Amino acid sequence: MSCWQRSTNLKHLAIVVLAFPVTVFSQASNGEEVFGKNCTFCHGPGGAGGSAPALAQRGLEASYIDQVINYGLPNTAMPGWGQRLTTPDLYAVRAFVKRLNGISAPSGGNVARALPAEAEPGRNLFFDLDREFKSCSTCHSINGKGVAVAPEIKTVPSDVVGLRNLAASRVRTAQVDRETFPAVVATQLQGETRLYDLTGVPPVLRTFPSSVAKLSAGGWQHSSAIQAYSDQELERILNFLRAAVP
Amino acid sequence: MNWRPQTILFWITIVAAITPIKAQNNNRAANGATAADWPEYGGTGLAWRYSSLDQINTSNIKRLTPAWSFETGDYQDGMASTPVVIDGIVYISTASSWVIALNGATGDPIWRYKYEPPVGLPAPRSNHGLAVGDGKVFINTRDNYLVAIDAKTGKEAWRVANGDMLNCRCGMGGVPQVVKHKVIVGASGSIGTITAYDTENGRFAWRFHVIPKPGEKGNDTWDGDSWKYGEGTVWTTGSYDPELNLIYWGTGEPKPTFYSANRKGNNLYTSSVLALDPDTGKLRWYYQEIPHDTWDFDTDYEFTLIDREVRGRTRKLLVNPNKGGYTWVLDRETGEFLGTYKFAENTNWIQGIDEKGTLIGRNDPEIGKPNFICPSNIGAKEWNQSAYSPRTGLLYTPVNEMCNDLVLRGPSGKTPQDRGGGTWIMKPPTGHDTGYSHLDALDAVTGKRLWTYSYKYELMASVLATQGDLVFTGDVEGRYFALDAHTGKKLWSYQTGAAHRGGGVTYMMNGKQFIVTPVGRGSLISDLSMVLWPEASNWRVASAVMAFALPEDEK
């Protein structure tokens, strides 16, 4: 196999991660807690210093803090945390160390514009954790959050009927051996077809030799996927989409 | 097939392993020994980490020699996993969730799979192992994907997001379990989950929520809406009893960790053993080892399933060494509490456990004062597994003696999610300048200590026991070594070049027994050991696998 080589440049990956709007995380991590769990061993409680240098009130610059937390310091015990922590935790702990150095959260720049208050209920429904795999975000991603099974949302239907009956022409019918299932093609490369199997939720990204995966027009309905939401809930989700989709 | 003694032994063991499933009576002892293969993380579903191979034994161990080694190339976070070996192929996983299939005789790679996270997600940086079954290799990723790889070709067969990591703040740090054409995974999140998917096509089968919702039995063990954020992360892996058709999984502590004023109650099903039906995910029974856990002691690690006599009656047991330094012994048919024993020397979080399983003399940490608690919240034992030998009846348990100061913090009131928490500072036990460790041979049921092997640092690698009456493990200074299972005497040691964090296993190929171990420090906890041992900065980072066998003329 030739897949040994890293095709993704880590730096580019990091830039993508850094470019995430901070406000997509509705359940913000607590930076102090992340720091407490991961950093106090060496840097002491509140960054007061321990076996590793103190971090509080050192006049450290924001870019230096981000750099060192993400990538570590070579030839020291400081590891890179960019790929050890979840993204919310990483943001939170970077913000916490910045606060220790008198730097408050940045405004503008990478921070997404705040959603209007009327869009909040819709956002909560879109990403609803209680519905688990029956929420919109099981198949749709907004600002990097959610699983991007479906293509990026670029237009917002004008009403609930339009949302329910959304044309789903990208969902095909796949036939593989004796199995038939609704599918979204993810990639077709080098004789391999990768399909999201939409038989149930969550969708499964399956890989087949292109020669065995037969694709035809599908009869899949968006309405069947969103039946866990009432009309009133879908109205709220539309409000959110109108605010969130550029 | 030629009928060498080893081959015959192999078949005898296979038959012995399969027979209990069809047994007419319930008196037959379960057999958790492996033979030519090492088919699962814990050896078999019974999690003994014991092999019936004895070509390498106490009489010839001194001549054990390196056979091959393999560098994975994934160095940053070491090698904390446990190989699975089937038909002479050694499957290993690395910190970045790469999977490599090696020829068990030569160490030559057969295929390599490198997990690529979806754009926008950070690469995983920790992996504890994999599962093989139904022609596929399964790995969990820290970004909450479950991936199935074709075991023959190394090509990805399917992957599924077990919840969107950025949304649910969840991830999978444990090892998948394959049972009856399902692959079962544990995850973190505001509510911990155990989820089963079809091994063939990745389709969802069932999910168990660690925390009951309002209206469900057990929700009233939480104060107000504290259940919503209670977590109970599922971060190790399960055992399986095919005869009872039950899987046993453990759950982590309730959140917030340490600060517990706003989550009064027992907080079910955190810090509990769960016995689930693998076909449906339905809860058959549970046993909460630590009601209202305030020390981060969880109920995780291995559930060693053995059949032994307790108070005059042979019982089907579940034996679970807990982070808090006590081992719980339960009846695995019913969940009945049968007893506990203490294996750590330094404990002050409770004064003891009574005959009903109640924690006596709780030393719950309090806000506003330093709370010196032993053991530390990384545990009197880490997640590296102990081993059980049916020949000696002993559970070989690695024990770390460290304490910590717990400093609690109340909620800031800024967000509903911020419900307080705390931090911890590693400390040596009272009367000691620093931490220390020991590998103990304990009667699995009574805890009677037959021998102890002392070590000046921590023991972070899993233990392997064999029918050759050998007990293997590795230390943080790079030694992989073997002790006499009856006496604890060190019989063999080899400097592999880097600290040990994973699990060594054994297998037979072409009539030759191999011992294979991951090599390389693989956990932040090792990095952070510098608080107790400044020289820990010298414990070497690596990511390799090393195999040993007897010289050609010795086997």
Q: Which of A80-94, B74-88, B440-454 has the lowest mean pLDDT?
A: A80-94
Which of B162, B201, B531 has the CB atom closest to A197's CB atom? B201
Using one digit for the tens of pLDDT, what is the confidence trace for B281-316? Answer: 999 999 999 999 999 999 999 999 999 999 999 999
Contact A24 B121 (CB under 8 A): no
Mutate to test the interface with A, among B153, B158, B167 (most CBs of A within 10 A): B167
DSSP letters spanning chain A: --TTS--S-HHHHHHHHHTS-GGG-SS---HHHHHHHHTHHHH-GGG--SSS---TTS---HHHHHHHHHH--TTSS----TTTS-HHHHHHHHHHHHHHTTPPPP-STTSPPPPPGGGHHHHHHHT-STTGGGSGGGT--BTTBS--SSPPP-S--SSHHHHHT---TTEEEEEETTEEEEEEEEEEETTEEEEEE-SSSS-EEEEEETTTEEEEE----HHHHTTTS-HHHHHHHHHHHHHH--
Tally the domains of chain B: 1
Min Cα distance B256 → chain A (Å) is 10
Q: Does the residue B504 lie in any domain?
A: yes
What per-residue string of b and e applies to A45-64 under the rule 16 or more CB within 10 Å gives b?
Answer: bbbeebbbeebbebebeeee
Asked whether residue A76 carries a pLDDT value surpassing 90, the answer given is no
- Per-residue model confidence (pLDDT) at position B263: 96
Q: Does the residue B472 lie in any domain?
A: yes
pLDDT band at residue A74 using 50, 70 and 90 as cut-offs: low
Window 421-480 of B, Cβ < 8 Å to A: 421-426
Does the CB of B169 have a partner CB in chain A at under 8 Å?
yes
Window 102-121 of A, Cβ < 8 Å to B: none
Using one digit for the tens of pLDDT, what is the confidence trace for B306-347? Answer: 999 999 999 999 999 999 999 999 999 999 999 999 999 999
| Mutual angle of helices A87-100 and A62-71, in 10-degree steps | 140
Does the CB of B192 have a partner CB in chain A at under 8 Å?
no
Pick the more confident residue, B417 or B302.
Answer: B302
Q: Does the residue B18 lie in any domain?
A: no
Does the CB of A64 have a partner CB in chain B at under 8 Å?
no
Does the CB of A129 have a partner CB in chain B at under 8 Å?
yes
Are residues B474 and B505 in contact, defined by beta-carbon separation less than 8 angstroms?
Answer: no
- Per-residue model confidence (pLDDT) at position A36: 84
Asked whether residue A240 carries a pLDDT value surpassing 60, the answer given is yes
Using one digit for the tens of pLDDT, what is the confidence trace for A135-158? Answer: 999 999 998 889 999 988 999 999
Q: Does the residue B87 lie in any domain?
A: yes
Dihedral-angle region of residue B528 (phi above 0 means left; psi in -120 to 50 means alpha; beta otherwise): alpha
- Per-residue model confidence (pLDDT) at position B524: 57
* Element (DSSP H or E) covering residue B134: none
- Per-residue model confidence (pLDDT) at position A75: 56
Asked whether residue A20 carries a pLDDT value surpassing 70, the answer given is no
Query: Which neighbouring-strand residues pair with B91?
Result: B84, B101
Q: What percent of chain A has pLDDT over 70?
A: 83
Asked whether residue B5 carries a pLDDT value surpassing 60, the answer given is no
Asked whether residue A111 carries a pLDDT value surpassing 90, the answer given is no
Min Cα distance A62 → chain B (Å) is 21
Q: CATH code at B164?
A: 2.140.10.10
Mean predicted confidence (pLDDT) in B217-223: 97
Does the CB of B510 have a partner CB in chain A at under 8 Å?
no
Asked whether residue A166 carries a pLDDT value surpassing 90, the answer given is yes
Q: Does the residue B10 lie in any domain?
A: no
Q: Does the residue B161 lie in any domain?
A: yes
| ipTM rounded to 2 decimals | 0.91
Min Cα distance B432 → chain A (Å) is 19
Which of B124, B165, B423 has the CB atom closest to A36's CB atom? B423
Q: Which of B183-187, B269-273, B522-526 has the lowest mean pLDDT?
A: B522-526
Query: Which neighbouring-strand residues pair with B43?
Result: B40
Does the CB of A40 have a partner CB in chain B at under 8 Å?
yes
As a whole number of angstroms, the distance between CA B118 and CA B461 comes to: 32
Query: Which neighbouring-strand residues pair with B512?
Result: B509
Pick the more confident residue, A103 or B227.
Answer: B227
Pick the closest to residue B321 from B346, B348, B302, B347 (CA basis): B302
Mutate to test the interface with B, among A207, A210, A212 (most CBs of B within 10 A): A207
Contact B528 A42 (CB under 8 A): yes
pLDDT band at residue B9 using 50, 70 and 90 as cut-offs: very low
Q: Per the structure block, which two tokens stand in for B12? A: 């005898």
- Per-residue model confidence (pLDDT) at position B154: 98
**Whole-number mean pLDDT of chain A?**
80
Q: Does the residue B122 lie in any domain?
A: no
- Using alpha carbons only, what angle is made at residue B126 by residues B507 and B470, rounded to the nearest 5 degrees? 30
Burial of B43 (0-12, 13-18, 19+ CB in 10 A): buried
Asked whether residue B502 carries a pLDDT value surpassing 70, the answer given is yes
Q: Does the residue B20 lie in any domain?
A: no
Using one digit for the tens of pLDDT, what is the confidence trace for B11-57? Answer: 444 444 443 333 333 445 679 999 999 999 999 999 999 999 999 99
- Per-residue model confidence (pLDDT) at position B71: 97
Min Cα distance B143 → chain A (Å) is 8
Mean predicted confidence (pLDDT) in A222-230: 94
Q: Per the structure block, which two tokens stand in for A222? A: 């968006």
Q: Which of A200-214, B120-134, B198-212, B449-463 has the lowest mean pLDDT?
A: B120-134
Residue B90 domain boundaries:
26-112+127-445+456-554
Does the CB of B324 have a partner CB in chain A at under 8 Å?
no
Which of B113, B407, B426 has the CB atom closest to A41's CB atom? B426
Does the CB of B152 have a partner CB in chain A at under 8 Å?
no
Residues of B belonging to the active site: 296
